Every structure is written in structure tokens, then in C-alpha cells.
Amino acid sequence: MAWPSGDRCRRPWLIGPATLLMFLVLAVSAEDFFLDWHVTLDTNIKPDQPVIAINGLFPGPLLNGTTNDVFHVNVFNEMDEPLLITWNGIQQRLNSWQDGVSGTNCPILPGENWSYMFQFKDQIGTFSYFPSLNFHKAGGAFGPIRINNRPIIQVPFPKPEAEFDLLIGDWYNRSFKDVRSMMSTNLMAYNSTPDKILMNGKAAYSAPPTEAHESFTVAKGKTYRIRISNVGTAWSFNFRIQKHKMVLVETEGSYTNQITLDSLDVHVGQSYSVLVTADQNASDYYMVASPKMFNASDVTRFGIGVLHYDKSTTPPNGSLPNGPDPFDQKFSIHQARSIR
């Protein structure tokens, strides 16, 4: 059948079988996820102060999707203050009103709800979400985001045995409301420091045994992916694992040239993926996050967790693994520039 030349632009459906199949695959590969999140101020969850929980969880639930998936997150604000949640690093293409920041979103008022809808469009990697108003981030409501490759896209490293999400951030022993009020003074705003670093909302291994600490269980000889995000408000930190090397493979949506590291600086808002191989004797080993630009001898501020071998009966022993001088800015700059 002959078509008038003027009708060519009106025939987008006249495509070859291979192209049609590709379009169909793309259409069915994406999923829609519908979530209800109830944000509350929880006084039962420790440490130290009431935390902002999502569905009773601190940190909040994992958003685990695949490139092109669409998330519908209905957020119910059950606190006594306006609330916004931002999806750090997720590209909001032509829908900035879903980004959850003041100026593009109206706050969710107490007792009300708002449904965010956004797509993991053409993205992969490790991200996080957190509240963006009223210093709420210092109280919680943060959590991990994973965007996985579509099956037809090859990952540039062997599939790890398992993956762990590790949210690390500084923490104040006071309520976020108290800290927020104190930040209005120059003394607090410019001279105060957080009281500690938490790993996945848990206190350091060296804290009293009544407080939980973070622990990842691994099997000897296996390789694991640890997705690390800095969800703090003030401190950059250096992360390291006793007697283990880390291979950096991804940062915030981009696979990197793979480099082997003894330790990794992670600045506020940043996320990285590292591969760790359990190649030591079956024991327990310290995972340490120490603050940058702060006295390295004050280990009471460190975040300390445990890498636990599944056959281990030995608790961590020896001194904490040393990191770079926390005031060595050249180390941080050199490491950042080495990531490609």
C-alpha cells in the first residue's frame, strides 16, 4: 500500500518487529510500587532521644527498585510539625514538585498526607532519602534507596553473595527540637559538635551492652556489597574495616573505575558501594566510622560495628583500625580525585 508523503510523520506504529519487541520489553520491565508511610515521633526507639520513625522503623524502610520503576509513596504526617521528605539524588525530570524540598513543595501539615510519585528513570546505584525541613534529619526519617540494573544491563563486577545497606551519620544526644533551637545562637551553630556517630541508627559496639550495635554476617571466601550513605548533618567520616580491603565500584548512580582502598571518606549526603571479600580468619572484625576534622583520640564519638564471620566464636579484638589523620585534607582531596 502506498502512503502519501505527507502522512509519513503520522505513522509511528509502522516499525520493524525487533523495535516493537524492544518497546514491549521496556513497557513490561518496569513496575509500580504503592507504599503507605506513617511518620511519627517515637519515644520507644533508642538511642537517647525521641526519633522520627517511618512505620515504626528507624532508620526508615528500604526503597528497593529497578531502573524505570515507579514509586507511589503516600506519606502521612503524624507529627506535630510540617514535614517534607526528599529523595537525595533521584532525578525528578519535569516533576520537581515530587522532590520534597521547600520552594518546590508545600509542606505536609500535621495530620495530613501527600502522595509522592517518581520514577527511577535511567538511573542505577545507591542513594538515600531524608526529611528536608526543620532540622528533622537530626531526628531520623532517613533511609536507603537501591536502584538495580535491568536484567538486560550487565553489572561490571561479579554478583556478590549479598548486599548490606549501611547508613552512617552523626547524632546528638538532645532532641532535634532542642538542637534546632540552640542553632540560633552563634556559640552552638559554629562551635558545637555532634555527640556520636550511629550505624543504621545503632550505637557503637563499645557502648554499654544494653544498646544494640550493627553487625553484618558473612561467610569466609564470599564477596559482599556494602552500600554506604552519609545521612548526618555535620560530619564527614572515614570508614574502614579491620584487616579488610574495600573495592570501590559505584557512587550515586555511576559505576566507577574499581580502586582498592584501606579506608573511604564519605561526606554529608554522599553514597558509595564497596565490595568486601571475607578473606580473613573466621572471627569478628571492627567496622569503624570516625569523624573528619575532629580529634581522632576521642573514640567515644566513633561509629563502631562488627563484621561477623558466620563460623566465628571470637569477638573483635585488638585496637581499632587506624584511619588517615582526620585533619589531612590532602588525603580527602586526593581520594576524591582518584574516583573516576
Domain assignment present for residue 2? The answer is no
Domain assignment present for residue 76? The answer is yes
- Please choose, from the candidates 150, 160, 141, 321, the residue with its C-alpha nearest in 3D space to the C-alpha of residue 238: 321
Residues 60 and 96 both lie in one domain: yes
Please state, in angstroms and rounded to a whole number, the distance separating the CA atoms of residues 201 and 232: 11
Residues 47 and 176 both lie in one domain: no
For residue 218, the cross-strand partners are: 309
pLDDT 10s digit of each residue in the chain, 340 long? 343 334 333 333 334 444 444 444 444 568 999 999 999 999 887 666 789 999 999 999 999 999 999 999 999 999 999 999 999 989 888 888 888 898 888 999 999 999 999 999 889 999 999 999 999 999 999 999 999 999 899 999 999 999 999 999 999 988 889 888 888 787 776 777 899 999 999 999 977 766 789 999 999 999 999 999 999 999 999 999 999 999 999 998 899 999 999 999 999 999 999 999 999 999 999 999 999 998 877 888 999 999 999 999 999 999 999 999 999 999 999 999 999 9
Question: In whole angstroms, what separates CA 241 from the centre of its chain?
Answer: 18
Q: Which residue shows C-alpha cell 552500600?
A: 227
Domain assignment present for residue 264? The answer is yes
Please state, in angstroms and rounded to a whole number, the distance separating the CA atoms of residues 257 and 301: 32
Residues 251 and 140 both lie in one domain: no
Q: Which pLDDT does position 226 carry in this prediction?
A: 98
Q: Which pLDDT does position 30 carry in this prediction?
A: 82
Residues 122 and 190 both lie in one domain: no
Residues 142 and 178 both lie in one domain: no
Residue 16: is it exposed, middle or buried by C-beta count within 10 angstroms (0-12/13-18/19+)? exposed
Residues 137 and 37 both lie in one domain: yes
Q: Which pLDDT does position 47 carry in this prediction?
A: 64
For residue 305, the cross-strand partners are: 287
- Residue 39 belongs to domain with CATH number: 2.60.40.420
Residues 186 and 142 both lie in one domain: no
- Please choose, from the candidates 230, 165, 168, 218, the residue with its C-alpha nearest in 3D space to the C-alpha of residue 197: 168
Question: In whole angstroms, what separates CA 213 from the centre of its chain?
Answer: 18
Please state, in angstroms and rounded to a whole number, the distance separating the CA atoms of residues 147 and 143: 14
Residues 44 and 75 both lie in one domain: yes
Residues 321 and 196 both lie in one domain: yes
Please state, in angstroms and rounded to a whole number, the distance separating the CA atoms of residues 301 and 199: 12
- Please choose, from the candidates 216, 226, 338, 241, the residue with its C-alpha nearest in 3D space to the C-alpha of residue 274: 226
- Please choose, from the candidates 142, 100, 101, 103, the residue with its C-alpha nearest in 3D space to the C-alpha of residue 117: 100
Domain assignment present for residue 256? The answer is yes
pTM, to two decimals: 0.88
Residues 144 and 239 both lie in one domain: no
Domain assignment present for residue 78? The answer is yes
Side chain identity, residue 316: P
Q: Which pLDDT does position 183 carry in this prediction?
A: 81
Residues 114 and 139 both lie in one domain: yes
**Per the structure, how many domains does the chain have?**
2
- Pair 145, 128: CB distance under 8 Å: yes
Residue 246 to residues 205, 208, 221, 227, 274, Cα–Cα distance (Å): 21, 29, 14, 12, 6
Residues 109 and 192 both lie in one domain: no
- Where does 124-247 have alpha helices with state H? 176-182, 186-191
For residue 244, the cross-strand partners are: 241
Q: Using a CB cutoff of 8 Å and minimum separation of 24, what contacts does 90-98 make?
A: 90/118, 90/120, 90/123, 90/127, 90/145, 91/121, 91/122, 91/123, 92/118, 93/119, 93/121
Domain that holds residue 101: 28-148
DSSP codes, 54-122: ETTBSS---EEEETT-EEEEEEEE-SSS-B-EEEET---TT-GGGS--BTTB--B-TT-EEEEEEE-TT
Please state, in angstroms and rounded to a whole number, the distance separating the CA atoms of residues 85 and 87: 7
Domain assignment present for residue 10? The answer is no
